[in-house]
Amino acid sequence: MILAESPRRQRVTKLVNWGHWFALANIVIAIIIASVYVVSSPAPGTGLGTFYLFANWFGHIGFLTFFGFVIFILPLCYLDVSQRTIKTIASAVSALGLAVLAFDALLFNRTGFHLTHSSANLIKSEAASEFLTINWQQWLYLLLLFVIWLGFQLMLANAVWKRIDRLMTHRIARPVVSFFVVCFVSGHAIHVWADAQLYQPIIKQDNMFPLSYPATAKTTMSRYGLLDIERYQQRKQLQFEPDIHTIAYPSAPVYCAIDESQSALLLVQTDQANIQTAVKNADLREIEQFFTLASSPEGLISSTLFGVPELYQQSLLQESPIILALAKAYGVSAQVYVEDIRFRKKQFPAVEFATSLENSAALTIAFVSGETITSLLAQQDLSRSLVMVATGYGAPTGSLFTNLPVTANLASNEDLTPTLLNALGCAADVSFYSTGQNLLAPKRDWLVSTSGEKVVVIYGDQRIEVLSNGSYDITQISNNMRSDQALNVDLLSRAIKHLTRFMQ
């Protein structure tokens, strides 16, 4: 006796098979639309971060689309309605879902937010202004776009239906399902590790895709001794985001007067030549604990001119340093000279660099070699000028030589322009435009800066280096040996907050 499937069972089987192929086509479309999220976000910067990006991209978007198919379309295949009605409803649901995904992607590209309850007010305010500028023809055009998109989904549904028997001969179900399952599972597994390690190239992708809730297992790992939860919380408290999107610099308008009759000379050494004899002959006092923490010549220039660490360098390329803006406002002749021409206008288009050192300028800031510094100190009459000479670029420590009545015992490049401005008579609050301090009246016995992607805090004989994921090293400055002293978490948290206060 031959048992054959009933006509209804055959129909349901064909509809279910059609639904899976229709879902696969829309998964591919959804992945293409989701590429907007990828190009709108900064690159991970590491191989593991890039692998996680693709695994999360394909796995999460594939899961979302297939979940939508299971919830909204698959049940229709078991209803006793015509296949034309099912295809029409499925096409409408798919068109609407992908349109919402596209809108969310464009919103993320523009604002960095997704379609959520918390972003409703932002969307409402954005829409209110946009809707006022849209006339009825544009509304008709948008409606026409959706109709075209719906028509495409109907054509896709019919094309799959007509070819379902041929498509079923292709045995790709297992490899396709395996691919998306591996992407989904590996993405969450990698995130569990990254969350425990506070690995920023992966952690910073948490908000990239809509409805994304990456897996974590801190409690379970700590229960089995795989994670020290107290140290994890400490590291999490100390982590910071090195990628700056927007800043508020200066944080408030800087209003102050400067002495137009006074001249000043700020020399920053770019090599490690010995200039002890030159500064001794110039009768300059020395601050021995001076730190130049910039990791590049560009960082050295920006941290000195702007009074902030190189962390802010890229965000300030189009800005003019406060010290130069004030000099221009009061008609004080100023010049910035960089001996190495490779690091002039190309990296700092908003700063006008002098091609040679002019003795006539009232304010001179120069980034030069030790040989040039020795020559300048020997040639110029320094008795009527405010002089600061900073050394130590590329070395663990340097020195600051000056004829100013400084009282600080600890300084960095971020302190130079605030100190010079105060010496010239500017009484504006230093915190408005710098993370440094006025060395004539210091308020802190610690300093914080950045070197590459590391936050560096100097306090006493300790040099604390913190990576963006919150891990840290403590070194004794006096002997350059690793220290076993306990970490001052309160100081470090305060220092990082101070460092990042221009970020928005």
Here the CATH number for the domain that contains residue 275 is 3.40.720.10
pTM exceeding 0.75 = no
Residues of the chain with pLDDT > 70, as a percent, come to: 87
217 or 319, greater pLDDT? 319
Q: What per-residue string of b and e applies to 91-116 under the rule 16 or more CB within 10 Å gives b?
A: bebbbebbeebbebbebbeeeebbbe
User: 335 or 45: whose pLDDT is higher?
Assistant: 335
* Inside any domain, residue 504: no
- The amino acid at residue 197 is Q
Q: How confident is the model at residue 133 (pLDDT cuts 50, 70, 90)?
A: low
Last residue of a domain, one of 181, 209, 227: 227
Q: What Cα–Cα distance (Å) separates residue 201 from each residue in 52, 110, 237, 247, 503?
A: 9, 22, 17, 21, 19
Of 470, 453, 466, 487, the residue nearest 196 (C-alpha) = 470
CA pair distance 447, 444, nearest whole angstrom: 7
**pLDDT greater than 90 at residue 50:** yes
Give the number of other CB atoms < 10 A from CB of residue 1: 2
Task: Categorize the per-residue pLDDT at 104 as very low, low, confident or very high, splitting at 50, 70 and 90.
Answer: confident
The answer on pLDDT for 3 being more than 60 is: no
Residue 106 is predicted with a pLDDT of: 84
Asked if residue 15 and residue 126 are part of one domain, the reply reads: yes
The answer to the question of residue 191 being in a domain is yes
Q: Are residues 214 and 287 in the same domain?
A: no
How many folded domains does the chain comprise? 2
In a domain, 159, yes or no: yes
- Are 145 and 215 in a shared domain? yes
Least confident of 113-127, 141-155, 270-284, 422-436: 113-127
Please tell me whether residues 281 and 191 are part of one structural domain: no
406 occurs within a structural domain:
yes
Residue 342: predicted pLDDT: 64
Average pLDDT of the segment spanning 277-291: 90
State yes or no: pLDDT of 455 exceeds 60.
yes
Contact 499, 238 (CB under 8 A): no
Same domain, 211 and 278: no
Are the C-beta atoms of 98 and 52 separated by less than 8 Å?
Answer: no
pLDDT tens, residue by residue, 299-323: 999 999 999 998 888 888 888 899 9
Per-residue pLDDT, 135: 64
- On whether both 53 and 101 belong to a single domain, the answer is yes
pLDDT at residue 30 tops 80:
yes
Q: Does residue 392 lie in a domain region?
A: yes
Using the predicted structure, report yes or no on whether residue 157 has a pLDDT greater than 60.
Answer: yes
Q: Which range is most confident: 239-253, 331-345, 431-445?
A: 431-445
Average pLDDT, the chain: 84
Structural domain ending residue among the three candidates 392, 415, 441 = 441
pLDDT of 1 above 50: no
How many Å apart are CA 294 and CA 416, to the nearest integer?
14
Do residues 284 and 418 share a domain? yes
Same domain? For 306 and 219 the reply is no
Do residues 67 and 139 share a domain? yes
Q: Is 334 exposed, middle or buried (0-12, 13-18, 19+ CB in 10 A)?
A: buried
Q: Is 440 exposed, middle or buried (0-12, 13-18, 19+ CB in 10 A)?
A: middle
Binning pLDDT at 50, 70 and 90, where does residue 63 land? very high
Indicate whether 463 pLDDT > 60.
Answer: yes
- Tell whether 175 is covered by a domain: yes
Q: What is the pLDDT of residues 69-99, one digit of tens each?
A: 999 888 888 887 888 898 899 999 999 999 9
Question: Shortest CA distance to 251 belongs to which of 318, 308, 295?
Answer: 308
Which residue has tokens 């907050």? 497
Contact of 291 with 439, CB cutoff 8 Å? no
Q: What is the pLDDT of residue 109?
A: 79
| In the predicted structure, residue 369 carries a pLDDT above the cut 50 | yes
Q: What pLDDT was estimated at residue 485?
A: 80
CB crowding 356-379: b at 16 or more within 10 Å, else e = ebeeebbbbbbbbbbebbbebbee
Vertex 67 angle, CA 65 and 73, to 5°:
90
Tell me which range, 174-183, 193-202, 215-224, 348-357, is most confidently predicted by mean pLDDT.
Answer: 174-183
Q: Is residue 153 part of a domain?
A: yes
Q: Indicate if 138 and 211 belong to the same structural domain.
A: yes
- pLDDT, residue 205, reads 87
Residue 306: other Cβ atoms inside 10 A: 31
Is residue 216 in a domain?
yes
Residue 264 has pLDDT above 50, yes or no: yes
Domain end point (choices 205, 227, 249) = 227
Radius of gyration of the chain (CA): 31
Are 383 and 277 in the same domain?
yes
- Whether residues 271 and 222 share a domain: the answer is no
pLDDT at 127: 53
* pLDDT confidence band for 2 (50 / 70 / 90): very low
CA dihedral 238, 239, 244, 249 (to 10 degrees): 0
Domain range enclosing 329: 263-441
Token pair, residue 250, equals: 């200066």
Band of residue 335 on the pLDDT scale cut at 50, 70, 90: very high
d(CA 324, CA 284): 25
Which string of b and e fits 251-283 if b means at least 16 CB within 10 Å? eeebebebeeeebbbbbbbbbeeebeebbeebe
pLDDT score at 421: 94
pLDDT at 73: 87
The arithmetic mean of pLDDT across residues 420-433, rounded, is 93
